Structure 1
Amino acid sequence: MNNHSKNEIKTSQIIAKLVSNTPGRLRLRVGNRHRTQEEMQRLANALQSHPDIKQVRTNLTQGSITVQHDGEDSLENVYTALGDLGIIFGDIGEGKSEVADGVASTVINLNKRVKESTDGIIDLRFLFPLGLGCLSIRKLMLQGLQLDIIPWYVLAWYSFDSFLKLHANSMAPKSEQ
């Protein structure tokens, strides 16, 4: 025997981040896992049928749902409706951690400094493969063809491969305009 009422909808938890909460307007960003056309439309339709909600807009690219509601008196009802749909508020993650952003920012700044100090002749995309290449030559000269530990040819390959990957855009054929 089923103890659930007919109106109860079984939903999975959808993690969302509250982006903006101004009087009469609430905007949230849905986690990547639920950013599908079907899921976003399902949420929008369910919210639109709520009596305290005037309008619901979705942006699939950003994963955001904007809810226009009747004001402060209806805000608690909107939160309840979101909860009934399985939406819980938390950190959805944006793909990069703060540490990754910090490291990337540091490397970008260092690259700018190197480029500025050499008047644009040399940058880290050149220096990094060059450094690996020099390290491979040094290792070859000091240790010979030693194949039991990282051999010189692996470092030489990394030098060559990183040079190609770091210069992929600049080596692509230019299209005529």
Structure 2
Amino acid sequence: MPPRTAERPRARIEHAAHGRIRVRIAKGDRDPEEIERIRSHVAELDAVDEVHVNQRTGSILIHSSNGPKVRAGLQTVLDLAPFERQAETQVNALVAAVKLGDDRLKAASKGRVSLRWVVPAAFFTIGVRQLMNTGFTIGTVPWYVLLYYGADSFLKLYPEHAPATKQGVRSEPQ
């Protein structure tokens, strides 16, 4: 990432979809004059159709038909953190949180229980409960869907129990 200068406030892309990009300006760079300067520079970029600014939250919503061109232009206006790195960081944080929860559950149960067992068991239990309450009718969440999720999550979390294929190789989780 390029070094931060007075002319390039820190920002990150919060969301990008077809036709829209939302950028969030860092809290320290949100004074009214700076936000207006950023808005006017972004509005002048090629391929930008509309720019909406929320001064309080530091949010800049950009409507455009050419996202890659706008992203390249934003790099010249802002000290912009890469979008892909943020998404990867969020996934890594979620995985770390699940692993921490699993470790705590294992420690509390002295190694007898883990999330690899609890998640499928919960789906099976809820599926059987739904079946007993509603019978074979299709309700909001049908019992057979919950039973399927229970079996599927068990086989993905314990691939060694997956049925062997015709070649004798077990199917791997995706």
TM, length-normalised to structure 1: 0.43
Which protein shows a greater Rg?
A: 1
